[in-house]
Structures are given as C-alpha cells and as structure tokens.
Structure 1
Amino acid sequence: MLGACSSMSLLLVAIAFLYLAHRLTPKRKICGGTCSSAAAPLPPGPSPWPVVGNLPEMMLHKPAYRWIHLMMKEMGTDIACFRLGGIHVIPITCLEIAREVLTRQDANFVSRPLSFASGAISYGYKDAVLLPFGDQWKKMRRVLTSEIVCPSRHKWFHDKRADEADNFARYVYALTLSSTSGANVDVRHVSRHYCGNVIRRLVFGKRYFGEPQPDGGPGQLEVEHVDATFTSLGLLFSFCVSDYLPWLLGLDLDGHEKKVKQANATMSRLHDTVIDERWRQRKGGERREELQDQDFLDVLITLNDGDGNRLLTIEEVKAVCKDITLAAVDNPSNAVEWALAEMVNNPELLNKAMEEIDRVVGRERLLQESDIPQLTYAKACIREAFRLHPVAFFNLPHVATTDTTVIGYRVPKGSHVILSRTGLGRNPTIWDEPLRFKPERHMGDDIYVTLTESKLRFISFSTGRCGCMAASLGTAMSVMLFGRLL
C-alpha cells in the first residue's frame, strides 16, 4: 500500500510540473471531441489531463479493466476513448463495432503496440505475435502458418499429443490413489501442467526440463516454467504506466517491470538451455534424428531461405518458441477449469456430457482426438466457458495503422483498439440469460460444433489477420483435456 501511495505521489508531482509547463508553453489549440467542423469526434470518454491523460484515474481505480468497464457503463456507450499518456485507448463491447474493426477494416488494425513486456518477451520483436506490422511480421507469420501450425504439421505431431494425453490420465489416476480415502485433484494444477507438458513436448521434444517424476507429474522446473508463463501472460499489455509515458521507464512505478523481468528470465533460462544446445548440435552436424522424433525446434532451426542459408536467427527461433508456449497454455486450461466448475454446480449438465462420452467413446478405451468431431455437447460446454469465463478481459490490442472512422467516430493513427471479451460474451443484446451457463445455446440446428467463433459473438481464438493461427491445436488440447477429466 505504501509503495502504491509513493508511486501515485511521484506521478502527481510529475503531473503538476507538466501541467504548469503545458499552460505556460504557447501551442496550437487542441480540441477534445472534434478539431474542426469537418472532423469526426473521438469516441466518448473522460476528460484527460494534459500530457498524462487519464493515467491518474486509472492508477487510482485499479484494476484498470474494471475501471474501464465501469466508466463505459456509466457513459452508456459501447465504444469509448481513454487517453493514457499520448495514446488513445479505445475499448469496444459491441458486436457490430467489433466486426467493423476485425472484419471490414481488418487491414487498418493489423499492427500491435510497443510495450515493455512485449519487447522483453519477444527478444526485441523478433517473434510472430507481439511485433508491429511490417516485413518482420510478414516473415514470421509466414513461417508459423507454413511450417508450424499447418494441417500437415498438426497431423505429424498427433502421436506426441496422444502420448501426453495418456500421461495426463495416468497422473490424475495416480493422484486419486495417493491416499486410502481418495484424494482431491486440483483441476487448475493438473490442467495447466497438462498444457505445459504438451507444449514442451511439441516444441522441445521433452516433457521435463529436469528429472522425470515417477508419477508423471511436474517437477520443480516444470512448475517454475508454467508459473512464469502465466505470469508473463498476465503482464502482457496490462496497462503499465511506462508503456504510455516512456520517460518513466525504469522508475517502475507500478512494479510491472520487475515482474516482467523475473518471469521472462525464468522462461529464457529454461528455454535457452535447450535451444542453445540444439543450435550448436545442428551447426556441427551432430543431431540427426529420425523424422518422427523431430519437434518444432528442429523445424525452426533447419529452415533455409532460397539461397540455402539459415532462414531464422537464433533470437527469432527463441522468440517463436515463446510465442507457441504463451499461445497454447492458458485458453484450454482456463476453459476446462471453468466448465467443470459450472457443471459440478449443475449435475444435469455434467451427466449429459458424460453420457455423450460414454456413447461416443464407450468405457473400454480412452478418448482420442479422432472422437472430437462427434463430441458435440462437450465442445458446446467449452464454447460456453470461452464465452462466460474468458481467460482475459480484453484481447491483445490492435493498433490503427492509419487515421480512420469507426461508426462515425474518429480513430487516430496509433490508437490501441481493445475488444472486451466479457463485454461481447456477456452482452444481453447478443445472448439470452448471458450470465447463465447454457451449453445448449451453441448447438442450435448445427450438427457440427467448433470452438472457433468467426462471428465475434465472443472471443475464443479471435479472428482477422492477427487472429490465433493454432486453432486446431487449441481445440485438440481443450477437448482432450476436458474429455479425459470427465
């Protein structure tokens, strides 16, 4: 509490100084909503302070996502504009406006913002997900779509995913036998570590960074890895003050920078040991595995350009490995945890899901990925968890690459547009009884249910040019985790 007060005091002193400088310095007139009769107004929002914008209010009313949603509710608007430092942050809670941004004007919102966390995690924007739009973005997205998340590669790694699903079942079963009276299973713990195991196996070809555990569960290094991964995800684009006022970088007024450094250092320490050794082996021609033993890291390291030279630098390889790790661990584990929590409180739904698995899979074998197309109700349960209990309150920001207009409002170039996952998923104009867990709402007349939501009624894997490229992997992990636990 004392630290927060000190940080706020420093910021208020800075505000006072900058306000005086702002008042005493001659400058052109700046308007709030419109700068001329011909210009469209900015979306509605609270009046900003000079220089710092609405940052003082944001810091006083943490968490920021709750304050933003509360302000939008008070203003009665589905699109707003909060000026944080010199950046216009534009949240959206309406389906039609979301479609305008991510479908009709997708090309105008294809970039990502610069931030302390994204720069650190991506090795200075060498990755494919967090970097701004440009030549590097095109190169790395091409690598991911053609070499990593393509259908042929997804099929190629089926056996690795199946092996981890079997290991997960054995581990959970061992936990239930750990005492004579039975044992409680921490769903969050086992779900997150299942996702961590799958990703480590696909990316690095190994379940463990350290010594294997007899029960198939995580060791200390694996716990550190998953914890650091979730910490990093929670800090990405989390309204860090220095992201909007770069001259405050290093003061760490909100403690954000220290946490990012610690989590990123843990991930890098564990990843880089494997990557550096594999890079050295490939360079020396030492590593020559059979095709079926290769992993994502092998694929990335061995890519060549048209002249036969390495396509990727080691920093780019490391950045993409982090991309894949961060992209795949949170959504499946969060959705399954919430789906089970809701269904435990409504045994009728739980029984219905279990009856479907008994009918499709039977009791003589375990659920396999080949069963997923027939598990209509199970997928509807996961979709409903995506809708009602999203893994984050906002999706990753989209940066306007040009001045544009959205439903009559001006969106200046450089604005950060964020779609509210809760605003869309719990919107009463879209959903009947939006706060009730009703898997049946996703079934309708369609025989085949998917976890993707291209209509943007809620956000699962997003859409547009910056949408998730690994929806097939996310679907497989989510349904296998959910079905095996059931």
Structure 2
Amino acid sequence: MLNFSILLLFITFALRYLFKPQWRGKANQSSLPPGPKPWPIVGNLPELIKSKKKTSVSHWIHSFMKEMNTEIACIRLGNAHVILVTCPEISREFLKKHDAVFASRPLTMATDVISKGHLSTIFAPSGDQWKKMRKIMVSEMLSKARHQWLYEKRVEEADNLVRYVHNQCKISDEGGLVNVRVAARHYCGNVTRKLVFNRRYFGEGKADGGPGFEEEEYIEAIFTFLAYVYSFCVSDYLPFLRGLDLEGHETIVKEATRVMNKYHDPIIEDRIRNRRDDKIDEPKDLLDVLVSLTDDNDILLLSMDEIKAQICEIMIAAVDNPSNALEWALAELLNKPETLQKAMDELDNVVGKDRLVQESDFPQLNYVKACAREAFRLHPISPFIPPHVSVIDTTVAGYFIPKGSHVVLSREGMGRNPKVWKDPYEFKPERHLQGCNEGEEVELTEPELQFISFSRGRRGCPGVVLGSSMTTMLFARLLHSFNWSIPTNQGTIDLSQRKGESFLAKPLLAVAKPRLSPNVYSFQGKRKIN
C-alpha cells in the first residue's frame, strides 16, 4: 500500500510538471466555481503538497484566487470539492441564507482523535450526536445564567493576570520585560481551567502567578493540535492513506492529544466517581455540571468518553483567539503610540487610576473593543474557519455546490478584502467606530461577516459571550494597569508573521511599568494562588 501510494503521488507530480495546469473557467450558472483544473483521482493534491513545502496552503489558495480575480473558487482534493470564499456577501449566502444546508463537518483524522470518534460539539458532523451536544453547550454550559454564575472565577484570573505582570515589573524602577505571548496565552488557559476544573494549575505553578512546567506543556499541546486540526492533511482526502502517516500529522496530533488527556482524564474520572458516590452536592464548576446531567429517568446523560471529548474541545477552543488578538494588537499599538494613548485615555476616563477594570466597565470601552476588532480583522487566528460540509446539492452565488463539498471561508480574505476595507493592511481601530451612534456599544462579533472574530450560523461559536468577555478583559487589564514600551535600542516592533502560521514570527517582548495608584496592586500578594 505504501509503495503504491508513493508511486501515485510521484506520477501526479510528474504530470504536474509535464503539463501546464489549466484554470477551470466560469462557464454558466450550473457550473462549479472556477479553480485549477484537477488531475485524475488525486485532484489538486499535487499543487497543495507543493504549496506546503514552498510557502503555505493559505498562500497558494489566496494567490491563485487573486490571479483568477475571483472571490469564490473550487479545488478538488481527492474526491472532495473544497469551496473557498473571500467575499463577505457570498459568505452570508452560505452561513445565513443556506445555513441549514452547510451545517455539517468533515470527518478528519485529527478531529476523530481529539473527539473520541466525533462525540463533541464543534467537530461532530450534523446528526443526533451533534444536536445533543450542541443543546448541552448552549443551555447548560454557556448560557447567560451560567456566565453570571462563573463571574467570580473570571475576576480571580483577571486579578492574577495583573499580579503576574506586576511581578515582572519589580526587576527595575524602569519596569520589567514581559513575554506578552506567555502572559496572554496563560491568562486564557487559567480562565478556562478555573471555569472547567476550578483550579488554575495542574501542578504547583509559580509563586509569581505564572505557569509551571505542567501548564507550559499543556498550552504547547493545545497550540500544536490547533496547528494540525484542519491543516489540509492529504490522508483526509485519500482515506486509503490513513494510518501510513506519510506527512507525520497523525503522530503529532496523537501526542498532543495524549498530553492534554494526561492532565484531564484523572480529574474527570475522579469527578465521575464522586458523582456516582453522591459526593457532589452543588456544582462548583463546568465539569461538575457535565457529570451531573441526567435525563428524564434520572440516568446520566453523558458517557465518560463524551465528557472527556467535550472537555478537550472546550479547552482548545478558548485559548487561541483572545491571546493571538492581544499580542498582535499590542505589537501594532507599540508602533503607533498615539493610538495606544487613545485606548489608555479611554480607560482612564471610564475607570480612573484607583481601581482595576471590571466587566461592568465593558459597555463604555468602545475604543478598547475597536482595537480588539481590528486585531481580529487584520490578524485572524487562522487563515480559514473550520470547514462546513453541504448535506445536499445546492446553488450558491450562481454556482453549483455538490453534496459533500467542504466550504471554507477565508478569515484573511474577508478581513483584508480591499472592496470592503479601505487601507486593509493598516491597523486602524477608528474604522470600527464609524457609524456607531452615541451610547451604542461596540461588539466584538461581526454579523455581516466583513471579518470573522467568532464563527457564525448553526455551526457558530456557542461561547461568544465568554470569548468576548475574556478578550475585552485581557485587553483592558493590560492596557490600563501598565505603561507599555518597546525595549531600549530595538526601534520598532517587527510585525513579520511566522511562516505557515498566523502568529508573530517572534513572541512579543515589551517593557511594562505600573501606571495605577500603588494600593491597586497591593492585593496581588494576598490572593490565593491555587
């Protein structure tokens, strides 16, 4: 099987260089969207594999779409038609007008591993399992009432964020050098662990409020998995290759999942035992809620595998987006001191300098939220949103979309679309305040899909309220509590993007110095750490 697979790929690569590929043009309203002409059996996999080695799949896709002057395209990977969209208007057709048609997900190697056979919400295809888990997430885990119930835990981790950064400032009267990526990612990890497990650390943590080895290993595993979850793995389109692990993706995904499960599983199994022994009275966290759910006959609603799969999904869904937006935004703001000052002035006017920002301040922090929106627009966490799969044949934007097609909306393409955004590559928070009436609150969501902060539609993110809260608090606490500056002799912040990924090429290092009244930070040493 292995020799045959390698021979097949070799033949298709040879054909690729012997014959110049042709564009599939726009024929009529019943045709597929335009795109590169596919090869027999493998489709456009040779071009995709080549793009991975040279630059990235995202770069290849956006380049040929620009060359073809199209905002919707189709490539064939194996037997799957992959529909690519960079236009907000067409995206709205998919996720609003035809939302029910595109409410499924592809079955991939990575999603199968992490979700124990697609038992969770995000990764499950449409069907009874997805409906069951989606209902639980919306009504039991992420409802407004549950959000309010978990308020104190979120505040505790926002306080710990300030404590941790403040401790980095004690090195010098001029402030301390802070790894912003570490601070942001571990704030998001801490919040999620606190909500789910009622604990900040899996191990001992550090006295300064920072992550210990266990938390560092855990966060690294989450971001490793996220890098591979929908990475156009060849075996997802040629299933007979699965198990051969020709690209090494399967080994990497299984190892990252093993690390996450190493920390999750003992806690989950212990809670389930406690529930069976009637040792859980009132739920204290989201895991207690999950293990306590029963049906009308008082029988446990979820199996152990369903609980483990859903916990994994919650943890990986909450860390990347807010932390990436903060790191990029602060990097941009440090290169634009006037813009940074506007955000700090707003915080001083709303909050003052004698207390910390609270969630009740959020409605008045429109400029801070505009900075977050601009980071989501210009620097999305990933080039594409998770694929939607069509459950029937249909027509969208005048093109035929076959049943089983994978529809992939481009975060980059929409957020940087020059037909929608003036100066699309410039960081300008003010653009999100235009047309905003006095007293109107800026939201982090974008219902018209001119950019994507949180996924929309039936497959939309059920944790929008939590994600918005975490993002706004992360921005507000760091911008309000500290003066930020570029390290001496550095000049400006390098805004280069890491090859093949959406992060800054190098973690952002910036100098932080306390800017509030000293008594505001006095509680930091008294807070319970674990």
Give the TM-score band, short-chain normalised. over 0.9
Structure 2 counterpart of 1:453, from 442, 446, 453 = 446
- The 3-state SS of whatever aligns with 2:125 is coil
The aligned counterpart of 2:524 is none
The aligned counterpart of 1:207 is 200
Structure 2 counterpart of 1:111, from 104, 114, 123 = 104
Q: Distance in 2 between the 1:402 and 1:267 partners?
A: 36
Residue 368 of structure 1 pairs with residue 361 of structure 2:
no
Structure 1 counterpart of 2:265, from 255, 267, 272 = 272
Provide TM-score, normalisation by structure 1: 0.92
Residue 13 of structure 1 pairs with residue 19 of structure 2:
no
The aligned counterpart of 2:314 is 324
Aligned in 2, Cα 1:229/1:15: closer, same or farther, shift over 3 Å? closer
Structure 1 counterpart of 2:325, from 316, 326, 335 = 335
- The 3-state SS of whatever aligns with 1:237 is coil
The 5 Å alignment of 1:2-401 reads 13-15=7-9, 40-62=30-52, 63-178=56-171, 182-288=175-281, 290-291=282-283, 294-401=284-391
Q: Distance in 2 between the 1:18 and 1:428 partners?
A: 36
Q: Distance in 1 between the 2:356 and 2:441 partners?
A: 22
- Per-residue displacement from partner, 1:228-260 (whole Å, max 9, x unpaired)? 111111111110010000111122121111110
Aligned in 2, Cα 1:68/1:240: closer, same or farther, shift over 3 Å? same
Shift of 1:10: 7.3
Q: Distance in 1 between the 2:344 and 2:4 partners?
A: 56
- The 3-state SS of whatever aligns with 1:99 is helix
Structure 1 counterpart of 2:472, from 459, 466, 479 = 479
Aligned in 2, Cα 1:196/1:297: closer, same or farther, shift over 3 Å? same
Shift of 1:320: 1.2
The aligned counterpart of 1:22 is none
The one-letter amino acid paired with 2:101 is: N
- The 3-state SS of whatever aligns with 1:423 is helix
- Per-residue displacement from partner, 1:136-184 (whole Å, max 9, x unpaired)? 0100000000001100000000000000000110011001214576431
Shift of 1:439: 0.6
Q: Distance in 2 between the 1:337 and 1:267 partners?
A: 24
- The 3-state SS of whatever aligns with 1:88 is strand
Q: Distance in 2 between the 1:38 and 1:351 partners?
A: 53
Q: Distance in 1 between the 2:5 and 2:383 partners?
A: 26
Q: Distance in 1 between the 2:99 and 2:344 partners?
A: 40
Gaps of 5+ in 2: 14-23, 480-530
Q: Distance in 2 between the 1:266 and 1:178 partners?
A: 34
Q: Distance in 1 between the 2:423 and 2:29 partners?
A: 40
The one-letter amino acid paired with 1:241 is: V
- Per-residue displacement from partner, 1:196-233 (whole Å, max 9, x unpaired)? 00000001110111114211111111111111111111
Q: Distance in 2 between the 1:143 and 1:234 partners?
A: 27
Q: Distance in 2 between the 1:185 and 1:253 partners?
A: 40
Gaps of 5+ in 1: 1-6, 20-31
Q: Which moved more, 1:47-56 or 1:387-396?
A: 47-56
Provide TM-score, normalisation by structure 2: 0.85
The aligned counterpart of 2:401 is 411
The 5 Å alignment of 1:416-431 reads 416-431=406-421
The aligned counterpart of 1:436 is 426
Check conservation: 2:92, 2:449, Cα contact below 8 A.
yes
Aligned in 2, Cα 1:40/1:154: closer, same or farther, shift over 3 Å? same
Aligned in 2, Cα 1:361/1:245: closer, same or farther, shift over 3 Å? same
Q: Distance in 1 between the 2:10 and 2:448 partners?
A: 46
Shift of 1:18: 8.9
Q: Distance in 1 between the 2:99 and 2:316 partners?
A: 24
Q: Distance in 2 between the 1:77 and 1:399 partners?
A: 21
Q: Distance in 2 between the 1:64 and 1:385 partners?
A: 22
- The 3-state SS of whatever aligns with 2:204 is coil
Check conservation: 1:456, 1:462, Cα contact below 8 A.
no
Q: Distance in 2 between the 1:277 and 1:112 partners?
A: 32
Structure 1 counterpart of 2:455, from 447, 455, 462 = 462
Q: Distance in 2 between the 1:169 and 1:49 partners?
A: 55
Q: Distance in 1 between the 2:5 and 2:395 partners?
A: 33
Check conservation: 2:36, 2:44, Cα contact below 8 A.
yes
Check conservation: 1:43, 1:81, Cα contact below 8 A.
yes
Check conservation: 2:280, 2:288, Cα contact below 8 A.
no
Check conservation: 1:81, 1:91, Cα contact below 8 A.
yes
Q: Distance in 2 between the 1:147 and 1:46 partners?
A: 46
Aligned in 2, Cα 1:215/1:101: closer, same or farther, shift over 3 Å? same
The one-letter amino acid paired with 1:422 is: E
Shift of 1:33: 7.5
- Per-residue displacement from partner, 1:259-297 (whole Å, max 9, x unpaired)? 101101101111111101111111112333x55xx1000
- The 3-state SS of whatever aligns with 1:90 is strand
- The 3-state SS of whatever aligns with 2:38 is coil
Q: Distance in 1 between the 2:143 and 2:336 partners?
A: 38
The one-letter amino acid paired with 2:121 is: A
Shift of 1:354: 0.2
The one-letter amino acid paired with 2:426 is: R
Q: Distance in 1 between the 2:267 and 2:173 partners?
A: 40
The one-letter amino acid paired with 1:429 is: K
